[in-house]
Structure 1
Amino acid sequence: MTMKLRPTATTVALLLFLLLASSSLRAAMAGSAFCDSKCGVRCSKAGRHDDCLKYCGICCAQCNCVPSGTAGNKDECPCYRDKTTGQGARKRPKCP
C-alpha cells in the first residue's frame, strides 16, 4: 500500500511566496549596488556627503538612474531632475 502525498493549497502558496520573494530580493540587491556606485560618484565632491548619498539613493531607487558627473547633467534623467521637496515657494530639488 503506497500513500500519495498531495500538496495542500497552503504549501503551494508558501512555495510561490518564497519564489517571488527571492527574485524580488535579488533585484533589490542589484539595484542597490547600481545606486551605491552611481551615487558614490555623484556625491564624491559634496560638502554634506552623507546627506547627498541618502537623497541620491532615494532618488535612484525611485528613478532607476543617476545623472553622470558630480553636478548638473540632470537632463539625462528627467525623473531624477523633476523630484522636489516642499510645496509652493518652498519647492526645491530633492535629488542632488
Structure 2
Amino acid sequence: MPDFDTPHQATTQPTHRNFRWISGPGPDRNAPSRRLWQMMRDVAVGIHACLQIFTASELERAANADAENLRRLFIAASGLLRQAAEARIRPLNDSV
C-alpha cells in the first residue's frame, strides 16, 4: 500500500478561489462592513428565492388571503434588502 505522505508527490496549487461580491484590492478588502453587505445580499437573495417558490406553489391551492398578502410583503421586503445591499456593493467595486 502506498504511503500518501511521500516526498516525491507533485504538489499543485489549488484552483478554488473564494467568491466575493466586492472585488478588487484595497486595504479594507476584508473589512467587517464589506463582509456584512455581502452576507446581507446573499441572505436576501436566498429568502427572496424561497418565498417566490413557496408563493408559486401556494398559488395553485386556495390560500388564505392574509397569508398570501404577508408572503407578498416578504418577497417585496427581501427584494428591497437585496437592492440596498447591491447599491452599497456597487460603489465599493467602482472605487477600485
TM-score range, shorter chain: 0.3 to 0.5
Larger strand proportion, structure 1 or 2? 1
Given the two structures, how large is their TM-score scaled by the length of structure 2?
Answer: 0.35
Given the two structures, how large is their TM-score scaled by the length of structure 1?
Answer: 0.35
Larger relative contact order (CA 8 Å, sep ≥ 6): 2
